[in-house]
Structure 1
Amino acid sequence: MPHADPIRDLGVRLTADGGELRVWSANATSIELCILEPQSDWVAERLPLTRGDGDVWSVTSPALRVGTHYALSVDGPKGATHAFDPERLLLDPYARGLARTPEGGWRATVPDTDFDWGGATRPGIPLDHTVIYEAHLKGLTRLNPEVPEQLRGTYAGLAHPATIAYLTELGVTAVELLPVHQFVSEQRLTKMGLVNYWGYNTLGFFAPHAAYATREAQQAGPDAVLREFKGMVKLLHEAGLEVILDVVYNHTAEEGRGGPTTSFRGIDNASYYRQDADGTYIDTTGCGNTLDFALPAAQRLVLDSLRYWATELQVDGFRFDLAATLGRGADAAFDPEHPLLRAIVEDLALQGVKMIAEPWDVGFGGWQVGNFPRGWSEWNDGYRDRMRNFWLRDIAQARAMGTASEGIGSLARRLAGSNHVFALERGPLASVNFVTAHDGFTAADLVTYDRKHNLGNGENNRDGTNDNKSFNHGVEGPSDDPELRRIRRKAVRNLLGTLLLSAGVPMLTAGDEFGRSQRGNNNAYCHDSELTWLSWDRSDWQEDLFEVVKTLIRLRRENPALRPVRYGRWGRRRRAPARWTGTTRTAPR
């Protein structure tokens, strides 16, 4: 997008004359800036915004300064596709700080963004040397006795020397965090007494999730929460570890039309959300609403959010939840040349930042693995399924019927980087390989359960996939049989060994390196408990498994043949790839 685009500099920018607020809305007839008394909904001052080019409304006021709490009041036409209500106080979509009110609501704040990075810079780890560790920020350290109690489950806990020592000993190069944009739990879960633990329900795309900060930082407010997040990134970078964020731009926490109106719906529902003429939402996410990325303002929102986290907060990469939604045009069809998908990997401010797609959604034509533009890496679910089939379901079938369904050929092409899926010019590094993720069985549960056990989720075991491609090896659930335990543990080693020795970018799910179990729950998104937190009380066999995984990662790091950057081709000799010294690339010897 050219700099001359009028949809720019949205949100609050501090100036010599005070702060300038810019808000986009095509259908609003009036917008007011409401200056709020801290910790209340009382409006101390109302200031009208003026509509300018590109439907950008703006106002400058000395009242907009660091520490100010503010909201928007937006009015507009009535109709099936609109949801204007000037009595409702709304969040600025670009708010860098979000604070709770005593009534439990949320208000935008202008945070102090000063921070001393102390010379810390991004590690800049090449993609072929990358080993991703997918983790939940709270769950990773919540039970770790080597982390001080007040830091467990927080940004500071992830940055604690004990956590960093564990990650560096394991040998992973990047921590991919489940969503840390400010999120809230859905109304349905709250009524059931459950929570959205995973965080795929974003309230604000520019503010760190406050509950992941220490209690001290939370009490000090959004400024301190932001500093703690930056401090985490700084310390991880100093240890040579990258930070990748799982980001959820495909939908918002406003849910369906009966959901809470906190921001986009009240600012311009007809523009931001895909809907029919009668106001029915066109939902390709399964979460109640879908942002319309045929809209330039929605595209700008994503790019501005990415730039903010990558530049001002020094984040190293992003994994895009339901990324096929970001590539849907005006006709709602996926387009691999969609301007947003191109802009994300071509934006000059985002060069060198890792971009990983979850290349599907739940809409028509939603499975798009292998179809993203060059510059993207993608979660390779075909790799996951083939590895599970080879090491688990094929064995189960051979036991039952005397023969397995597939041969070694389909396994081999996955091991070699899935060149039947990704274009030659993209190469094997387009494939993010995984055998488990946050969503589904853990590695230990894959070899222990044939069926999901999700009754604790409150949906009568209807939620979560039924197609786990798992094998319990003859007994459902845990067993005291030593031989059965040995076979199951061997199967876990086979799965993780294949993962870490395959061409592509491996992603290890936190806890698989020591055989963590969720007791057969394959959709534990609503459990903030010891079911989902990593246990640090481990048996000898778990320590042995950790050593195996650590050795596999070391072998991968030491052997370039295990991490090719191009697909092999018969009859052509290729120059060896450059080596990575830990700081810069050097020519091969």
Structure 2
Amino acid sequence: MVNPAPLTRASREFPLGLHSVKGAWSQDGHANAAVWAPGIASMDVHWCRADGTWTSETLVGLDGGVHHGVVGPVAPGALYAFWPTGEDLPGTPGTAQLLLDPYARAVEPVALASGADEPPSRSYYSVFLEHTFDWGTSEHPRTPWRDSVIYEAHVKGLTKLHPGIPEELRGTYAGLAHPVMTAYLRDLGVTAVELLPIHFSIDEPHLEPLGLSNYWGYNTLGFFSAHSAYATAAAREAGPDAVLDEFKGMVRALHEAGLEVILDVVYNHTAEGEQHRPALCWRGLGDRDYYRHDDAGRYVDTTGCGNSLDFSQPRVVEFALDSLRYWVEECHVDGFRFDLAVTLARDENNTFTPRHPFLVAAGASKALRGTKLITEPWDIGPDGWQTGRFPVGWADWNDGFRDAVRDFWLRDVASIAAGGTGSSPARLAGRLAGSADTFAGSGRSPLASVNMVTAHDGFTLADLTAYERKHNEANGEGNRDGSNDNRSYNHGAEGRTEDEGIPRGP
């Protein structure tokens, strides 16, 4: 009798990231690791064992630029990171900054020792997460576009000061899921909550010395990871698994209230910033492969944030699509608003094309079928304004609607108050009728127009009625940030006033 050959731990280049091995090795805690880094000859994965010590293994497989191998045992919740084989480590694993897994399901900040007069310092590590969740009978509301009313909100800001929500839940995913908040949203008549970025994000380096932080979250370091700072203290203490539980619990509660969940996503750039800054993830794995460069090797920045992900690269397109599918399939979200979406549709010549592979693939994806895909249809690059030119299956923020409404509501009133005249109502009528002049050329109906009046950029509704100009003096940037074209009217007094003779905002 011939003895069977011993089992070997055959690794795979797909799926990317760190995943438990299935089959014969599923019981011994091993994981399949896979990372795309085509310019690196060999890659190691470093991880923290259950006893707190660190170890590493070389990924022995290499196919199509993907390094892969079966490693372990790796315990759920373990911190891990990548580093090129044979290159000197920047320091001790667990404290020094190695290279994050772009597909990590959680990112953990690690505080480092710093002097009394120095700003706090930290590094970031990926977390091995294998997560299950009971969705019960929760289902996607699937609100038709014609019936959709979208309410943009910041997870922290929406409930942080709400007196009806328990103090320990304010400013968190759980606070947004609280019955007081879901009832409030239903009473407003909205059908969807569009959340400002909840992907794991970090502060830009120049903010900490100023004692400031990035409140808005448009500086992503983990496109598959929920931002842990928006979880309750109890969830953060329990760890990344509990943070993801809380996020999914929020989605479930909003669905049970009949409300869709739309995520504002920032695939146009990453938190690695300008070209000279240290590598945290993509820059170290393949700077030329992930980021757009000119012929001289300099970054091409169409975002104003220091870098632009290069969507002429098929693997970058795949990365963004995989992230979208994760949030729909695993976290049950209902749609996405794409920040600076024109950057995601620039070809190898840095030219916008409505037939870009990313736009076509997302619109045709079975996993994303029925998902609302909303563009911010501009960036700061050449020919960056593209409202009305995205393809069928996508909807655009309609800045033309925004401007027409503000002019009719406020600037015309200001003009008349100053002895002038207002504009023709025909302009507003065209916008209320669906902006056919803007959208018909793309083959889309008026339902492709997201008729917005205010958003996180620029003035709030109340600010529109109280200020003639922006006042962003507090952030240390000399009031340079933000648009100067807000089409507002202060009604005779700059700023909030108790003067009964001055009309007040909403």
Q: TM-score, normalised by structure 2?
A: 0.90
Counterpart position of 2:74: 64
1: CA distance, partners of 2:51 / 2:183: 40
* Offset at residue 38 of structure 1 (A): 7.0
Change (3 A) 1:269 1:39: farther
Counterpart position of 1:22: 34
Counterpart position of 1:94: 103
Structure-to-structure mapping, 1:358-369, within 5 angstroms: 358-369=376-387
Counterpart position of 2:436: 419
Q: TM-score, normalised by structure 1?
A: 0.78
1:231 counterpart = 2:249: yes
Counterpart position of 2:65: 55
Structure-to-structure mapping, 1:435-450, within 5 angstroms: 435-450=453-468
Contact 2:105–2:127 at 8 Å: present in 1 too? yes
Structure 2 residue identity aligned to 1:291: L
Task: Choose between structure 1 and 2 for higher RCO, CA contacts under 8 A separated by at least 6 residues.
Answer: 1
2: CA distance, partners of 1:153 / 1:225: 14
The alignment partner of 1:72 has SS state of strand
* Offset at residue 123 of structure 1 (A): 1.1
1:33 counterpart = 2:50: no
Contact 1:179–1:248 at 8 Å: present in 2 too? yes
Counterpart position of 1:499: none
Contact 2:272–2:283 at 8 Å: present in 1 too? yes
Counterpart position of 2:223: 205
Structure 1 residue identity aligned to 2:20: L
Counterpart position of 1:407: 424
* Offset at residue 37 of structure 1 (A): 4.7
* Offset at residue 276 of structure 1 (A): 2.7
Deviation track 1:248-300 (CA, whole Å, cap 9, x = no partner) reads: 00000000023242100000011101113443211000000000001111001
* Offset at residue 428 of structure 1 (A): 1.1
* Offset at residue 51 of structure 1 (A): 4.5
Contact 1:96–1:111 at 8 Å: present in 2 too? yes
1:471 counterpart = 2:489: yes
Bigger Cα displacement from structure 2, 357-366 vs 119-128: 119-128
* Offset at residue 112 of structure 1 (A): 3.2
1: CA distance, partners of 2:473 / 2:170: 28
Contact 1:325–1:361 at 8 Å: present in 2 too? yes
Contact 1:32–1:72 at 8 Å: present in 2 too? yes
Contact 1:14–1:65 at 8 Å: present in 2 too? no
Structure 2 residue identity aligned to 1:74: P
Contact 1:324–1:368 at 8 Å: present in 2 too? yes
Counterpart position of 1:12: 18
Match of 2:265 among 227, 234, 247: 247
Structure 2 residue identity aligned to 1:411: L
1:263 counterpart = 2:281: yes
* Offset at residue 472 of structure 1 (A): 1.2
Structure 1 residue identity aligned to 2:157: G
Deviation track 1:105-144 (CA, whole Å, cap 9, x = no partner) reads: 2111111311111121111111111110100000000011
Structure 1 residue identity aligned to 2:76: V
Contact 2:294–2:300 at 8 Å: present in 1 too? yes
For structure 2, which runs of at least 5 residues remain unmatched after alignment? 1-11, 91-96, 113-121
* Offset at residue 53 of structure 1 (A): 2.8
1: CA distance, partners of 2:288 / 2:132: 37
Contact 2:45–2:59 at 8 Å: present in 1 too? yes
Deviation track 1:428-485 (CA, whole Å, cap 9, x = no partner) reads: 1111111111111111111111111111121222222111111112222233332322
Q: How many residues align?
A: 473
1: CA distance, partners of 2:61 / 2:286: 14
The alignment partner of 1:12 has SS state of strand
Deviation track 1:528-565 (CA, whole Å, cap 9, x = no partner) reads: xxxxxxxxxxxxxxxxxxxxxxxxxxxxxxxxxxxxxx
Contact 1:36–1:71 at 8 Å: present in 2 too? no
Bigger Cα displacement from structure 2, 28-37 vs 475-484: 475-484
Contact 2:13–2:68 at 8 Å: present in 1 too? no
Structure-to-structure mapping, 1:142-291, within 5 angstroms: 142-291=160-309
Counterpart position of 2:84: 74
Contact 2:19–2:130 at 8 Å: present in 1 too? no
1:433 counterpart = 2:451: yes
Contact 2:202–2:220 at 8 Å: present in 1 too? yes
Structure 1 stretches of 4+ moved >6 Å: none
Deviation track 1:226-247 (CA, whole Å, cap 9, x = no partner) reads: 1111111111111111110000
Structure 1 residue identity aligned to 2:178: H
Contact 1:20–1:64 at 8 Å: present in 2 too? no
2: CA distance, partners of 1:314 / 1:202: 20
Contact 2:61–2:69 at 8 Å: present in 1 too? no
2: CA distance, partners of 1:68 / 1:176: 32
Contact 1:49–1:58 at 8 Å: present in 2 too? yes
* Offset at residue 27 of structure 1 (A): 0.8
* Offset at residue 68 of structure 1 (A): 2.2
Structure 1 residue identity aligned to 2:108: A
Contact 1:39–1:100 at 8 Å: present in 2 too? no
Counterpart position of 1:530: none
The alignment partner of 1:348 has SS state of coil
1: CA distance, partners of 2:392 / 2:456: 26
1: CA distance, partners of 2:497 / 2:180: 33
Contact 1:35–1:63 at 8 Å: present in 2 too? no
Change (3 A) 1:368 1:58: same
Structure 1 residue identity aligned to 2:44: E
The alignment partner of 1:219 has SS state of helix
1:394 counterpart = 2:412: yes
Contact 1:455–1:461 at 8 Å: present in 2 too? yes
Contact 1:284–1:362 at 8 Å: present in 2 too? yes
Structure 1 residue identity aligned to 2:335: G
* Offset at residue 13 of structure 1 (A): 2.1
Structure 2 residue identity aligned to 1:102: A
Change (3 A) 1:186 1:297: same
For structure 1, which runs of at least 5 residues remain unmatched after alignment? 1-5, 77-83, 490-514, 516-589
Change (3 A) 1:389 1:89: same
Structure 2 residue identity aligned to 1:256: E
Deviation track 1:7-66 (CA, whole Å, cap 9, x = no partner) reads: 7411122113221111111211121111225797x6x22211134332111011232342
The alignment partner of 2:438 has SS state of coil
Counterpart position of 2:148: 130
Structure 1 residue identity aligned to 2:397: W
Contact 2:49–2:55 at 8 Å: present in 1 too? no
* Offset at residue 98 of structure 1 (A): 1.5
Bigger Cα displacement from structure 2, 338-347 vs 66-75: 66-75
2: CA distance, partners of 1:279 / 1:74: 22
Contact 1:178–1:199 at 8 Å: present in 2 too? yes
* Offset at residue 402 of structure 1 (A): 2.6
Change (3 A) 1:462 1:285: same
* Offset at residue 323 of structure 1 (A): 0.4
Contact 1:39–1:101 at 8 Å: present in 2 too? no
* Offset at residue 316 of structure 1 (A): 0.5
Percent pairwise identity:
53
